[in-house]
Amino acid sequence: MRARTLRARRGDPSRAGVAIRHVVAALGICLTALCGCTRADSAPAPEGGPDPPRQASAGRSAEETASWPLFRADPLASGVARGELPEKLRVLWTFALDKGWFESTAAIVDGTVYVGSTDGNLYAVNLADGKKKWEFHTEAGFTASPAVRNGLVYLGDSYGKFYCVDAQTGKQKWSFETEAEINSSANFYGKNVLFGSQDSFLYCLEADTGRVVWKYESEDQIRCFPTIVDDRGFVAGCDGRLHVVDLAGGKPAAEVDLEGPTGTTPAVLESMVFVGTEGGVFFAIDWKEAKVVWTYQNPERQLPYRSSAAVAEEAVIVGSRDKRLRAFDPKTGRELWAFSTRGQVDSSPVIVAGRVFVGSDDGHLYAVDRKTGKEVWRHELGGSLLASPAVAAGRLVIGTDDGDLVCFGGD
C-alpha cells in the first residue's frame, strides 16, 4: 500500500479577518476526522441544470448517459446512473498519484473525468485512456466532489476557498473565500451555484462571477451536498436538523429534528427525503409536511451513517458503518435486503440498471443485484474506498485512499 502523505492543513492563521474562525474550524476537523460532525454538531428544472433523474435508461440521449456532472448524479442526489454498464467489467486504466489520495467522487462530462485529491490538485483526465489533460493546483487538498456545468468546474478546498475553473484549460475564472473547510460539493439553481461550508453557511453565488446572492446560516457545520427540488434546497447539518431552504431568497422554509448531527447528503424521491445520521438513525421525511414518516436503527449496533442513499421507486439503498448495505421500502421502511461486507461502508451506493455498486473499507468494489441484494461481482482495489462511483458512457470511475483512480468498462 502506498504510504500516505500528511493531510493538508485545514486553516491558515495568517489570513486577515478569519484567524479565529480558522482555529475553531481546525479544532473541529481534528474531532470530526474520527467521529464525523460534532454538535455545537411539479415545476420545471432550474435553468441550466440537469434534468431530474428517470428510473430507466430507455429513450435517453447519448448526452444524458455520457455524463455524471454532480456528486450524486443529479440535483435530487438520487445516486441513479442515467446509462448502463457492461455485464462483465474489467479495469481499463488506472491514474495513480505520487502522493495524496482520493476521498471525493469524480465528475464525468464530455469524455473527461474531473476529480480532486488531497495532494492539492484538481485533475482533468481523459475518460478514454486515463491520460492527464491538466491539473489545477492549490495549497490545500480537496475532499469535496467537483460539479460541472456550461464548460466550468466548481470545487471547494480544505482551506475554505471555492473555485471556478475552465473545464477545457484548467485556468481559474474566479474564487470565493469562506471561513472554514469545504467538504460540500456544489449544486446549481438557475444561474447560481450553491455549496456549504464548515463555517455553518450555505452559500448561493452567481455561477459566472462568484458574487454572493445570499447566505443561509445554520447553527453548525454544513458538510453535505445541497439537494435541490424546484425552489427548495435541502441541507442536513451538524446541528442535527434537516433544513429546507427557500432558494429564491435563502430564507428558512422548514426544519426537521434529526436527533443527531450528520454530514451525509439528503436524497429526494418525490415528496420524501432520506438521510442517515451519526447517531445511527436513518430517516425518511415528508419534506412537504416537514414530518418524519419512518426511521430505521440497527437493533444490534447503532453505528454512524457516512454513506448517502441512492433512491428509486422500489427501494432506498444506503451503506452504514456496521459494514452493511441495506435496501428499504421507501414508503414503509421495511427492510428488503441487507448485504454484508468486511469493512465499513462510507462510500455511497450507485444504482446502475439492475445492479447496485458500492465501495467498502475492506478495499473491494461490490456489485449486488438491485432486487435481492445478492453479490454478483466484486473487485479488490487495495486501498479503502471512501469515494463513491461515478458512472457515465458505459464506464465506472472510483478513487481509493491509496491514490489510485480506477476506470472500469467492458471489452
Q: Work out the end-to-end distance of the chain between its first and last CA atoms, rounded to an integer number of angstroms.
A: 28
- Helix locations, 122-176, DSSP H: none
The C-alpha cell that represents 252 in the structure block: 428558512
Helix (H) or strand (E) run with residue 33 in it:
helix 19-35
pTM over 0.85: yes
Sheet holding 335-340, edge to edge: 310-311, 316-319, 324-328, 335-340
Query: Is residue 11 within 8 Å of residue 25, measured between CB atoms?
Result: yes
Q: Where are the domains of the chain?
A: 19-409
The topology (CATH level 3) of 19-409 is Methylamine Dehydrogenase; Chain H (2.130.10)
Ordered per-residue pLDDT tens for the chain, 411 residues: 333 332 332 333 223 333 333 333 333 333 334 346 643 333 333 333 333 333 333 345 566 678 999 999 999 999 999 999 999 999 999 999 999 999 999 999 999 999 999 999 999 999 999 999 999 999 999 999 999 999 999 999 999 999 999 999 999 999 999 999 999 999 999 999 999 999 999 999 999 999 999 999 999 999 999 999 999 999 999 999 999 999 999 999 999 999 999 999 999 999 999 999 999 999 999 999 999 999 999 998 889 999 999 999 999 999 999 999 999 999 999 999 999 999 999 999 999 999 999 999 999 999 999 999 999 999 999 889 999 999 999 999 999 999 999 999 998
Query: Is residue 371 within 8 Å of residue 393, measured between CB atoms?
Result: no
Instruction: Tell me how far apart the alpha carbons of residues 293 and 137 are, in angstroms, rounded to a whole number.
Output: 45
Residues 369-388 pLDDT 10s = 999 999 999 999 988 999 99
Q: How far is CA 112 from the centre of its chain?
A: 18
**Rama region for 270: left / alpha / beta (φ>0; ψ in -120 to 50; rest):** left
Instruction: Tell me how far apart the alpha carbons of residues 182 and 160 are, in angstroms, rounded to a whole number.
Output: 5
Helix (H, G, I), strand (E, B) or coil at 30: helix
In Å, how far are 34, 49, 215, 268 from 144, measured between CA atoms? 18, 19, 19, 20
Q: CA 365, 362, 380 angle in degrees (round to 5)? A: 45
Buried b (16+ CB within 10 A) or exposed e, 327-366: bbebeebeeebebebebbbbbbbbbbeebbbbbbbbbbbb
